[in-house]
Amino acid sequence: MTDSQQYIMTLDEGTSSCRTLIIDKKGEIKGRNQIEIRQQYPQGQSSWVEHDPIEIWNSQLTTMIQALNKSKINSNQIAAIGITNQRETTVLWNRETGLPVYNAIVWQDRRTTDYCQTLIKKGWQEKIHKKTGLLIDAFFSATKIKWILDNIPEAKILAQQGKLAFGTIDSWLIYKMTAGINTNEAIHVIDITNASRTMLFNINTKVWDQELLELFEIPESILPKVIPSSGLIGKTYPGMLFKNDVTSIPICAAIGDQQAGLFGQLCLNPGEIKATYGTGCFIMMNIGKKPMLSKHGLLTTIAFQLENQPPVYAIEGSVFIAGAAIQFLRDSWRMLYRSDESLWYADIIDPKDQQRIYFVPAFVGLGAPYWDSTARGAIFGLERATKREHIVKATLESLAYQTYDIIRVMQEDIKRMVKKNLKIKIKVDGGASNNRYVMQFQSDISNTSLIKPKISETTAMGVAYLAGLAINFWKDLNEIKHLYQIEKEYHPIMAEEQVRVLYKGWQEAIKRTRNWTSAIE
């Protein structure tokens, strides 16, 4: 790193968009660009979800170029690149051509649900949980890989020839960024946090698990090398950003998006929790350097690994549909022109209005702590007097209810894992953290204080910190801690009895949703 290299570039490849941010040593964002990516539903329904890997790469590359152009920053001023990505989403490609053999199967995709149920009935649940920290579900990469190998003839042929490569989106972007026109020089790796979300990686031994590879009939030859979250990975090929630009930028960090959010929120000690409200909602707690298992349906996963240090672990609960429920009101039901209008609708309801509407947005099943892949969405409590604003308000409240479902059981795990009494505060980020109504309702229903940082881009900041640490851009974690500033705190104000009644209603709505699904099968 030279004195002229004043910035870290972060690539944030999410479920709905590709983004690039350019961050300086003060932790301030000096450039950014974002492009939405198409959601593809090949069966005409939301249970099959795909992305075009080539579109992801082209969009991500475009955002890098545009972020530099708009900020008038030169490529040779970038000290390092860090990558954070939507996890579990699966890409398989031809090593020789660098072209995918099929679309990327997105983490939300449910096409392998029946196969997962078969594995559970055969008794694999406990063994897979102990090995990977995960529960058997279509959410994870292993069954997506198997589906492609079983259904795309080209994939199986290339695998037999040793020409097939698998990766999550971090793997795919690193491969494309290091390949150029010569795929022989491309780097095929996966960050350890993304590896821990495949349902193939043993979080105890920290290697690909041979028994699981045999179970899913996945050849080890297609798997990437597992690397730490922070450290020199490789360099971009010259001319990647601009035709005559010979700059080759070090790639120094890769990490799954939720783990990046945990690091960006500086949840560096056991017992510290963050909640990210995006397309889904992901609640994660640092549990230290031992991979302990939750007893309440939460996942154990690798949180991050610094270079030459052991990995840090976390437990996590996932809400599959959070911000996506607001998008549903906007795009499918046309109740909103813009997502941010939802706060206005929640505010116009008279505080004396006694209607209690519950919206369970289980469009692709229920995540933790229920893990019910067969559940589907439902609305309860409709009356003749129900208006649009009641539905919008109930949708916002569903984010908080689902999140508290996880926080409630996480609090039980804290007592066993951390072994000390903690006054829990939750650090929040993501789109809905900007919604005052959601945050206050979340604080109330959870009886927990929330902390919202001044810079809400915690996912991008997390991977920036990891890339910067790898090259001494920031000398240590203490220097990074001084960059963290709080914008707002929320504290519970709702009466305990009202909280009890409201949450009891939510639990009944969940129960009836699951019972209805079972009844019609």
> In the predicted model, is pLDDT for residue 46 greater than 90?
no
* Collapsed DSSP state (helix, strand, coil) of residue 334: coil
Higher-confidence residue: 322 or 54? 54
pLDDT, tens digit, 9 for 90 and up, residues 305-361? 999 999 999 999 988 888 889 988 998 888 888 888 888 888 888 888 888 999 999
Predicted pLDDT of residue 2: 65
* Collapsed DSSP state (helix, strand, coil) of residue 351: coil
Predicted pLDDT of residue 294: 87
pLDDT, tens digit, 9 for 90 and up, residues 258-301? 999 999 999 998 888 999 998 889 999 999 999 889 888 899 99
pLDDT, tens digit, 9 for 90 and up, residues 231-245? 999 999 998 888 778
* Cα separation, 396 vs 418, whole angstroms: 32
DSSP state of 298: P
* 77-81, 126-130, 180-184: least confident range: 180-184
497: its two tokens? 């009895």
Predicted pLDDT of residue 244: 79
pLDDT, tens digit, 9 for 90 and up, residues 460-515? 999 999 999 999 999 999 999 999 889 999 999 999 999 999 999 999 999 999 98
243: its two tokens? 């035709």
Predicted pLDDT of residue 371: 80
Average pLDDT score over the chain? 91
Q: Which of 471, 67, 60, 34 is nearest to 249 (CA)?
A: 471
pLDDT level of residue 45 (50, 70, 90 thresholds) = low
> In the predicted model, is pLDDT for residue 5 greater than 80?
no
Q: What is the 3-state secondary structure (H, E, C) of 61-112?
A: HHHHHHHHHHHCCCHHHEEEEEEEECCCCEEEEECCCCCECCCEECCCCCCC
pLDDT, tens digit, 9 for 90 and up, residues 55-87? 999 999 999 999 999 999 999 999 999 999 999
How, if at all, do strands 358-360 and 378-380 pair? antiparallel
Predicted pLDDT of residue 413: 80
Q: What's the whole-number mean pLDDT along residues 164-179?
A: 96
Predicted pLDDT of residue 296: 85
How, if at all, do strands 7-13 and 78-85 pair? parallel
